[in-house]
Structure formats: C-alpha cells, structure tokens
A = this chain, B = another copy of it.
Amino acid sequence: MSQTVDRALSILPLLAEGPADLGQVADRLGVHKSTALRLLRTLHEHGLVYRQSDQRYRLGARLFALAQEAMENLDVREIAHPHLVRLNENCGHTVHLAVYEENEVLYIDKVESRYPVRMYSRIGKPVAITVAAVAKLLLADLPEHERRAVAEKLDYPSYTARSTPNAAAFLRELEKVREQGWATDLGGHEESINCVAAPIRGADGRIVAAMSVSAPNVVVTADELLTLLPLVRRTADAISGEYSGRTPVKGTV
C-alpha cells in the first residue's frame, strides 16, 4: 500500500462532500499545505479534481466520464439492456438492473416508467441496501458467513414502517428470498412504491446481477404488480442464459 497514493485518494471523498480550499484539504489530510498542493495538482492533471473560479477544489469532470465508461463496459449490462427495454414496453413500469460490490448495491441500468409518476433513483447511485428487492437477492446469494458479516455491519434506517428493522430480521428475509428465488419490496423504501425482483445468474449458478420492476401504488396495487413476477423471472432467465452461454471475450486491446 502506497502512502502517497493513499493520501491523494483520501482527497476524493473529502471533496465529494463539497468544495474545499488548500488549507482545508491539508488539515483534513494531516499534511503540510505544500504536500496537499502537490497531490491536488496531480489529481488535477488527471482531471479528477477541478479548480473553480474561487480557487477552491472540487471533483472534476473526468470522474464522471470514467464512471460512465466503466458502466457501459459491464458485460451484464450490455447483454441485459435490450431485455429490460422489451420488458418495459410490455408492462410500462420502471425497470432496474443492479449489481453488488463490496458492501454496496448499485443500479447499473434503468428504463423509465411510461407513466407520469416516476420513482426517484439514478444509475450509479447506491441503493437502499436493507430494503430494496434487488439488494435482497444479491445479498442472499453471498456465502453464509459473509452474508452475516455484511448484515451486522449495515445500518437499518426506518424509511417507512415496513422497512427492515435490524440485522436479524434482514437475515431471515434473505433466507426466505434465497429459497424462493425472487424478492419483493412492498413499501419498505417509499411508502407507496412496490417492487418485484428476479436474479440473473452466471454459468456457475452464482447471482451476478438482479433486475426489478417498480411501480407506485397509484398505478397498480401490490397484488397486481405480483402478477408480473413470472414475466420478470422469464426475462431474468433469458438474460442469464445469454450471459452464461457466452464465451468470455479476452480482448488483448
């Protein structure tokens, strides 16, 4: 582990909170101003940090571009996308695709609802991991000890009365989800929004991603939404088949 790089990278989350000037950065890093300056300069050269007109630093444009590019190169995403679109054309609701990665679950694709009432979410945004249907699927597939470890570490915010209250309840829910092979979120994140989700599996049977259909109560009831489950599962299975059948592209680029 490199100390210099470690310090430089520590600047990024710091600036994500909001712009900061040289002194503030140096203080929070616990280094001399001149050191902070040189680190910031290096970050700047790579476009990860931008210096605004008031001389303060904030995160730079290249960061967004990098994130976008990385996302678009994800194999699952590429394969899944047309399926998601087709599903959206069939049912009209918002369709999400999400992956798990080191204690975070995040949306990597989204097709917006055709209905005027939309739910708030954004590609790249970490999802409410304790309640989202896709998160339950992704976590349920972890090896038992790891699942436990993650569940203990999490916070359990009470978004609504039906939010998962604590680790024990979450682990029970994960066990159920694991057995039935699909998951729901019925108003656990936002009072009036329900989701049904199904897993996408790789060749080895492990879950590599999860997809969901979400709709607000005012458009369809939870029961009506549940009737879409077979369709969602079929779509997920189709993606799984295509994903695992494919020989991994080992580009030498």
Where the two chains meet, the residues of A that have a C-beta atom closer than 8 Å to any C-beta of B are: 1-2, 4-6, 8-10, 12-13, 15-18, 38-39, 41-43, 45-48, 50, 54, 58-71, 73, 101-102, 104, 106, 112, 114, 116, 118, 122-126, 248, 251, 253
Contacts and interface: CB of A to CB of B under 8 A. Distances in A.
**Stoichiometry (number of copies):** 2
Contacts of A64: 67, 70-71, 106, 124-126
Q: Which 10 A-B pairs have the closest CB atoms?
A: A64-B124, A59-B70, A61-B101, A16-B69, A9-B46, A67-B67, A5-B8, A4-B4, A5-B42, A2-B42
A18 B73 contact: yes
A59 B106 CA distance: 13
Contacts of A13: 66
Nearest to A15: B70
A59 B47 CA distance: 16
Contact of A101 (B2, B50, B125, B251): B50
Given A16-B69, A16-B70, A65-B106, 12 more contacts: A2-B4, A2-B8, A6-B42, A8-B9, A9-B48, A12-B48, A13-B66, A63-B63, A64-B70, A64-B71, A122-B123, A123-B123
A18 B102 contact: no
A24 to B, nearest CB: 8
